[in-house]
Copies of this chain bind each other. A is one copy, B any other.
Amino acid sequence: MGITRSAIEESLKSFISEDIGLGDITTNALIGQSQKGTGWVTCKEDAVVAGVEESLVLLELVGCAGKSLVDDGKPVETGVKILSAQGPARALLGVERTMLNLLSHMSGIATATADLVSIANKASKDKVRVACTRKTAPGLRYFEKRAVELGGGDTHRLRLDDAVLIKDNHLAFSGTIEESVRKARAAVSFTKKIEVEVANADQAVLAANAGADIILLDNMTPQEVAKSVELLKRKRLRNNVIVEASGGIRKENLASYAKTGVDIVSVGTITNSARAIDMSMKIRSTVS
């Protein structure tokens, strides 16, 4: 991932406007147009940092110069300064909250991701990848998927046009798994993978035989997942497919899933339920 600067700018400008409205009346009342300031963003808990790159753009958009003190994707401990900024005091104060909101939100997701990645790596000897899902906050798909990537996770489908994923709700309309995979293969581009969500080991075999590229074992216990992987192996289908487990997986049970022999474990909560990382910004008059 990593969109062009001009594309990020559009979003970032709208984020600033959303907070400033017709003007930061406090700052404009109290601080002169020519006063200069220096600011530091401090991370107030252990975290994997994300959003620094976007923050530097935010600062530039309001006429300030930012400097990254920690690279996106790096872990920091409580109290570490992650970026500094210089410029007109009004601009620093005007952008402060928007910047902290983005940093806290993205770092929260990166941190939650990194946490799970580390558990999965340990349990699977680096064989299992932790992926996010499309459970992202509306309007923030790019920023949240980017944060997952920075936390070491797999971004999974970016959008509904990205890959085929046949679920229960589709099968209710489209017939059997075999028939549905066949229809999808005929209709979509050769550049797309086809994934099928299944509820048990037998369906997993059906999907693999039908030519699915990926099998999603949905809402199964670790035991059922392991059994499904085993059956695929026995049927000599395991090497033809990527196997993903999903549904109800969380920090507590992640290790058990990671040991089942699947390739991917996907978790919705790393995007939609990550706690914001506590960060604050101190701004002081620049001594000249």
Chain A residues in the interface with B (C-beta under 8 A):
1-7, 10-11, 13-31, 35, 37, 61-63, 89-91, 93-98, 100-102, 104-105, 108, 129, 131, 134-143, 145, 154-170, 172-174, 180, 183-184, 186-193, 195, 214, 242, 244, 263-264, 268-269, 272-273, 275-276, 281-285
Interface residue from B2, B16, B186 paired with A7 (Cβ < 8 Å)? B16
Rounded to whole angstroms, the CA-CA distance of A13 and B13 in the bound complex is 15
Is the pair A13, B6 in contact by a Cβ cutoff of 8 Å?
yes
Cβ–Cβ < 8 Å partners of A285 in chain B: 172-173
How far is B135's CA from A161's CA once the two chains are assembled, in angstroms?
19
Q: A4-B91, A174-B31 are in contact. Are A184 and B105 (CB under 8 A)?
A: no
Q: Do A140 and B137 touch (CB < 8 A)?
A: yes
The reply to whether A173 and B37 form a contact with Cβ atoms under 8 Å apart is: yes
Nearest CB of B to A92, in Å: 8
With A21-B162, A27-B170 as given contacts, are A275 and B273 in contact (CB-CB < 8 Å)? Answer: yes
CB pair A159 B18 closer than 8 Å:
yes
Give min CB distance, A161 to chain B, whole Å: 4
Nearest neighbor of A37 in chain B, beta-carbon distance: B173
Assess whether B190 is in contact with A192, with CB atoms less than 8 Å apart: no
Given that A93-B169, A131-B189 are known contacts, is A5 also in contact with B62, CB under 8 Å in the complex? yes
Give 11 pairs: A residue, B residue, CB < 8 Å, sorted on A: A3-B17, A4-B61, A4-B95, A6-B17, A22-B158, A30-B166, A162-B192, A172-B284, A190-B242, A190-B264, A191-B193
Given A184-B29, A190-B214, verify A6-B16 contact (CB < 8 Å): yes
| A235 CA / B280 CA spacing, docked (Å) | 33
For residue A20, which residue of chain B has the nearest CB? B160
Known: A155-B189, A163-B191, A191-B193. A170 touches B30 (CB 8 A): yes
Residue from the list B14, B21, B263, B283 in contact with A169, Cβ < 8 A? B283
